[in-house]
Amino acid sequence: MGEENVTRLHLHLVSDSTGETLESLVKAGLAQFADVDAVKHYWPMVRSEGHLDRVLDEVSRTPGLVLYTLVARNVRARLETRCAALGLPVIAVMDPVIEGLERMLGTRAESRPGGQHRMDEAYFGRIEAIHWTMEHDDGLLPHEWEDADLVLAGVSRSSKTPTSVYLANRGYKVANIPLVPNRPIPPELFELKKPLIVGLTVAPERLMQVRRARILGHDTAGISAKYADPDAVADELNSARRMFADRGWPVIDVTRRSIEETAAELMNLLGMRREVG
């Protein structure tokens, strides 16, 4: 089937826990549709209106279907209201199941975020990994990167953040750093011993497409005029690839990979490294 027949869809998965339930439901649902290029955006641990507002600011940049598992009434109401204002479809995926159980059992469900998970060691490990990864997104806290399992490096819009969040849901602590022209790279990146450092790259045409989509219809304040310029994009990618090669870091081309495929390759690299080590 040609690419012109493929439907591209952004799915935003908003959860007050790790988001595993949403991920499983979405995976099962998408399996029923052919020729769909689904881009999944993961937004775990959303438990306050302030956090939700930050998430929805990002959602508005890549509009699509919003699916959620949220317990707090005020957060749910705000999500529904803001999605309606943005013209975005929104679905509370667990509500029909919970309502059916309430009718059959004759009792109300308890309002406990993430209540479907056993509070075991693995669960708490995932929660810790999610918090750690979110605190070390976009080049933050480089002095703590030695505690990471993975450090992802790549130019802007090379899927670093969604890949990091996906891996955090699997219990990995992941830091990521954007390689931005004329912005110094933290020296800590070149001194790391424990984490596996991986470079993410993407085809120039695909990167320009993604960056242009970000610019269109949005405030471009703070965005360089060369952000989506073909020559500038090619220079950025070439510079990043040279750095990856010079350092001997493994590289993954994310152009035709889903977030899940990229994450799977990263987990494979970690596994091979541990076998060798």
Per the annotation, where are the binding residues for ADP?
154-161
Q: Are 69 and 43 in contact (CB under 8 A)?
A: no
Q: Which residues carry a binding-site annotation?
A: 154-161
- Give CA–CA dist 161/175, Å, rounded: 9
Contacts of 256 (CB under 8 A, 6+ apart): none
Q: How many CB atoms lie within 10 A of CB 52?
A: 24
